[in-house]
Amino acid sequence: MQTLPANLSRKLLWRFCLVAAVSLLVGIVGIVNILRLQNMDSDLYQYQALPLLKLRVINGCFEQNRVHLRDMVLENDPAKIASYIHELKKNSNKIDYSMQTFAASQLTEVEKKEFAYFSNVLENFNLYRNQVATLCAAGNKELAFKVMVNDGPRLSANFAKAIDRLSLLKEQAGRQAVEENKRRAQAAMAVMVLLLVLAGFAAARFGMAIARMLSAPLEAEKQQLSSSLAVLQRLLNGLDACLYVSDPHTNKLLFINDKMKREFCLEDDIAATTCWQVLQAGFTQRCDFCPVPQLLANPDTPVTWEEHNTATRKYYKNTDCIIEWLDGKKVHLQHSVDITNLKSTEASLTNAKLAAESASLAKSEFLSRMSHEMRTPMNAIIGMTNIARTAKDQAKKEYCLEKIDQASKHLLGVINDILDMSKIEANKFELYLHEFNLESMLMNIMNVVTFRAEEKRQNLIVNLDPTLPFFIISDETRLSQVITNLLSNAIKFTPNHGTIVLTVTKQEEADNISILKIEVSDNGIGISEEQQARLFTSFEQADGSISRKYGGTGLGLAISQKIVNLMDGSIWIESKLDEGAKFSLTIKVKNGISQQQPVLSKQIDKTSLRILAVDDSPETRDYFLHVMSAFGLACDVAANGQEALALIHARQEAPYNIIFVDWLMPDINGIDLSKKIKQLTGPNTVVIMISVSDWSDIEKEATAAGISKFIAKPLFPSAIMNAINEIMGVAVKDQTSQFQLQRHDFTAFSLLVAEDVDVNREILASLLEDTGIAIDFAVDGAEALDRFAKQPDAYSLILMDVHMPKMNGYETVRNIRSLPIARARQVPIIAMTADVFREDIEKCLEAGMNDHIGKPLDPGELITKLNKYLSPTEAPAPACSYRPITFPERLPPDTSPDYTDLLPILDVRAGLDRLMNNKKLYFTLLKNFTGQEIVAEIISLIETDEPVKAANTAHALKGAAANLGLTELSAIAAVIEIQAKNGINVTQLTSSLTTTMDATIILIQKLLEREGVR
């Protein structure tokens, strides 16, 4: 027989003790209740019967004594009378004692009333007894006998009646008490029976438990094990992780928790299925990466590994081990945690790190390229300047000046790219929308890029959709910047004799909004797919070797993409390596109000006009056919001179009116072809040469050959139509190419200049010396406001410096515009400042200024602005305090010595250029330069923690130094200005400022001594 578990033995023992205790308690309770009921009946009998019985006996004795006493009185026996009276007293005392005993018992209200009645009867009896005794003692036997005869029977009857009434009440109370005790006894018996039943039931359960225990101990153990397994499964289902159990030999699933069922979208019934069928996708046998074989080989060592599940496409970190299951069976358990988000985060961090490293590397390479891109034109400028100074041949000087101009423009382009990128990085890049002529803008772009294409003998073609709006509203400068960048890249990366095509079409139009598509294609080196992915990234180029071979900053396309995005468009590339590239972009523009387009004059009969175009480029021939078709003109094309002559010979009866001839063709050039055409057709046929932008070298020979007109490549519809109209005798005003000479005589005008730096005032006076304009100077905004308020009609225009002490330019202009004078709202005001960002210009315009000139002042821009705002019909009489300052005659430029030893601190040539080579003025300004005082003031303001004033003073020093060619001093002043404006501590820059100032003063003194200036 199997032994019982210890916990089960203890449980049975406790049950047995409980049954014994209940049985004992039932017996005790039954006995106690029975005894209690019996005692209650005996006490009740004694309590109710004994007092009444005594009273009845006493009353009987009293009646007996009363009769005997009466007889004794009749016998007149004194001894017997005394004995009987004594007996009567004894009975009376017994009655009193019985009354006290009765009164001590618990009485109801009715019993209390009856007892009071009985007490009254007893009191009368006592009075009767005392009266009889007194009469007998006095020897008055007759009266005593009379009292006894008269009162004795009555009192005895009353006494008996009172006892009967009281006895009746007590008997009723006794019967009620007995009934109550019977009921209690019955209840007690019921409780005792119930307790006995419960005790029997408990004993029966105890016996049944013993029977079950002895008959099926193994079944109990199995149930306990099943219960433990259920608890375990509930625990596993509650885990926030995927978990399953399988047979390591058959791979059959034994258990999957709820989390895993939800994760893999499984049904409840997974019987007879393998783990790789349910938990993987596309597997027909055990997975190659399954850890079970490793676990079977080493069951005590868990295996931890990561998995990219083929069913859920998620990443999991799995822990597999061998554990015991039911009946001690060894099973395979896998615990899986979803790490997809962790993997994604890790990938993001890795990508971010790679991107940061790539950006850092790109910026390092960018800085290296910037150094190269900026030093190369600077070296060219300095070198060509030195060559030009020493050159005796005028042609050589012109060559050097041309190269200096090219290098300067290249350097300006690099600087503009850097400034644009800085605005993009600062999220301050904005568009300035206005109406402009689209074709005119494209012609201006071609004027810039054509010479580069001509140097490489490239064919540059422009195709314009005839449905394009002639005027559009957009940012002309930024759109021109994008197209110029794309064309420049195409020319740069296309080999000699290649072809670049610019195509502009209108994709759609709705609500006066047009979507334009601009394409620039070439047959150059092309771009690989890998390089295309980095093409529009800031500071990147397609290949690092490109900058070394072709140059460039790597910013142009990134800036272009930003501009196109601001125009609600997109830009992309289609290219293959060594097969050329096509850049395409779309932009949204608003159609302009002015829609004047080039048209053929109505005076010309289209039906009689016959045109021939000769060009070896098929793109140019197709373009001619496209343009002529758009204008409704018939046109033939020829690929070379022989084909053209054949067409002309075939049209002898109806000869061509106008023949367009390309200058450079492989078989015969345009000039020789023109001679042959004239020989065949005579002088009436008009020949127009399609040439490069500069035809001055061939103009004389071409004219002699009979060529009537030149038009430059690339061809534009307006240029072709204007040429046809002009040839056919219709007057044409070509506004797009007409050059207007600027007027330099402003004698009838007066100027108010607000400028706090004396050097800048003298430079401005020198620049305007030959214009004849009268000038009044104010050293700050407050003085300028006072001068204008006193003489508002005396000034034709105001030049306003922005950064001045006391009152800056913005505040001054606002005060002028608010004056109650009509002229205050009419006078043109132009800002002068080195702040040239768009937001700076807009800030000037918001303050009430009409225009803006950047510092250092450009003489050409200054004259242009004066021409714009000074109309001869509105010139007031000069009322200035003095006329322009007169300076000594300029020295001849050829006598200039070499100043390269003063570079880079002192750029004498730059300073002289600013003053139009006025040496005497330049040296005078250098001699009187008060830079040391300004530097001392800046340092003092920095030390007293006044960054705003320090920035303003540094701004003034920057402008004055730049005008005099003090490049290093201007640069350090610019750094202090920017950092002080941004709240950056510039204390560490004071030593550099002092050192630069000292070095500048030494070189100025050296220069003045060399020039003999005292």
Q: Over the stretch 566-606, which tens digit does the pLDDT of each residue have?
A: 899 999 999 888 888 999 999 999 998 765 566 677 777 77
Q: Which distant-in-sequence residues (6+ apart) come within 8 Å of 885 by Cβ?
A: 762, 765, 766, 769
At residue 284, the pLDDT reads 78
Beta carbons of 260 and 242 less than 8 angstroms apart:
yes
Cα 425–426–432 angle (5° rounding)?
A: 100
539-564: string of b/e by CB count within 10 Å (b at 16+)?
bbbbbeebbeeeebbbbbbbbbbbbb
Structure tokens at 879: 């009322």
> What are the start-end ranges of the E strands in 136-267?
242-246, 253-256
DSSP one-letter string for 275-302: HHHHHSSS-SSS-TT-SHHHHHHSTTS-
Structure tokens at 953: 């003073």
* Strand partners of residue 330: 324
**Three-state DSSP class for residue 256:** strand
Distance CA 30, CA 480 (A): 119
Query: Is 418's pLDDT higher than 70?
Result: yes
**Confidence bin at 85 (pLDDT 50/70/90):** low
**Confidence bin at 828 (pLDDT 50/70/90):** very high
Distance CA 442, CA 27 (A): 123
The CA dihedral of 14, 18, 19, 24, to the nearest 10 degrees, is 140
**Confidence bin at 212 (pLDDT 50/70/90):** low
Q: How far is CA 382 from CA 247, 270, 604, in A?
A: 86, 86, 56
At residue 101, the pLDDT reads 59
Structure tokens at 516: 């334009």
Q: Return the HEC string of 23-74.
A: HHHHHHHHHHHHHHHHHHHHHHHHHHHHHHHHHHHHHHHHHHHHHHHHHHHH
pTM of the model: 0.43
My answer on whether omega of the bond before 856 falls inside 30° of 0, hence cis, is: yes
Mean pLDDT of the chain: 76
Query: Is 274's pLDDT higher than 80?
Result: yes
Query: Is 260's pLDDT higher than 80?
Result: yes
pLDDT tens for 101-110 read: 555 555 566 6
At residue 79, the pLDDT reads 67
Beta carbons of 648 and 680 less than 8 angstroms apart:
yes
pLDDT tens for 956-986 read: 788 788 878 888 888 888 888 888 887 788 8
Q: Which distant-in-sequence residues (6+ apart) come within 8 Å of 878 by Cβ?
A: 748, 749, 750, 774, 794
* Strand partners of residue 778: 754
Q: Which distant-in-sequence residues (6+ apart) come within 8 Å of 737 by Cβ?
A: 443
At residue 321, the pLDDT reads 92
End-to-end Cα, the chain, rounded Å: 134
**Three-state DSSP class for residue 750:** strand
At residue 36, the pLDDT reads 58
Question: Which of 111-115, 288-292, 338-342, 551-555 comes out lowest in average pLDDT?
Answer: 551-555
Structure tokens at 941: 């303001």
At residue 54, the pLDDT reads 47
**Confidence bin at 854 (pLDDT 50/70/90):** confident
Rg (CA), the chain: 65
Region 248-258 average pLDDT: 85
Distance CA 924, CA 759 (A): 10
Q: How far is CA 414 from CA 370, 377, 555, in A?
A: 8, 10, 9
> For 823, which DSSP code?
G
The CA dihedral of 207, 209, 215, 220, to the nearest 10 degrees, is 180
* Strand partners of residue 662: 690
